């Protein structure tokens, strides 16, 4: 180890950080996010302006997220697994509708992606819920507090 007294030198700190698994994970996510940004930049020229391009991308994902929030706040009978599966299926539906619109097979204004994603998430989760009944026992046991 390269140490000066009880302090690590800069090179020793860099060796420790480069081998840290968290740093490797952070670098992987940074590269992934960079690829997303590059992909967005390649498709952004197809819109009239940058605001419209960012609204289209936001419309692709925000409807499903809104559906998950509505399930969590107002539909307490729906558990996590059906909500997760519903979010994945609704996202595939929204991206499929976008692709069909992009290739001029059908025509949907991008603002419709929000209600379609939201309603599809809620409807699919409600339909899947009977397949995933709630457990009869709690996932954890709350122990009483003992005072001394």
Using one digit for the tens of pLDDT, what is the confidence trace for 78-135? 999 999 999 999 999 999 999 999 899 999 999 999 999 999 999 999 999 999 987 7
Q: How far is CA 28 from CA 7, 17, 37, 92, in A?
A: 30, 15, 14, 25
Rounded distance, CA 108 to CA 114, Å? 11
Residue 65 has pLDDT above 60, yes or no: yes
pLDDT value, residue 56: 87
Q: Record the pTM.
A: 0.69
* Mean per-residue pLDDT, 55-62: 91
SS3 (DSSP) at 108: coil
* Mean per-residue pLDDT, 7-36: 75
Rounded distance, CA 82 to CA 127, Å? 8
């Amino acid at each position: 180890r390269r140490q000066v007294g009880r302090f690590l030198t800069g090179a020793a700190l860099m060796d420790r950080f480069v081998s840290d698994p968290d740093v490797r994970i952070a670098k992987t996510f940074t590269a992934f996010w960079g690829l997303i940004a590059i992909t967005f930049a390649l498709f952004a020229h197809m819109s009239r302006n940058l605001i419209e391009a960012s609204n289209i991308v936001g419309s692709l994902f925000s409807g499903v997220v809104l559906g998950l929030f509505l399930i969590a706040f107002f539909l307490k009978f729906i558990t996590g697994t059906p909500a997760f599966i519903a979010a994945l299926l609704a996202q595939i539906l929204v991206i499929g509708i976008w692709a069909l619109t992009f290739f001029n097979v059908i025509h949907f204004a991008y603002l419709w992606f929000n209600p379609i994603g939201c309603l599809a998430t809620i409807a699919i989760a409600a339909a899947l819920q009977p397949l995933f009944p709630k457990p009869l026992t709690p996932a954890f046991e709350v122990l009483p507090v003992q005072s001394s």
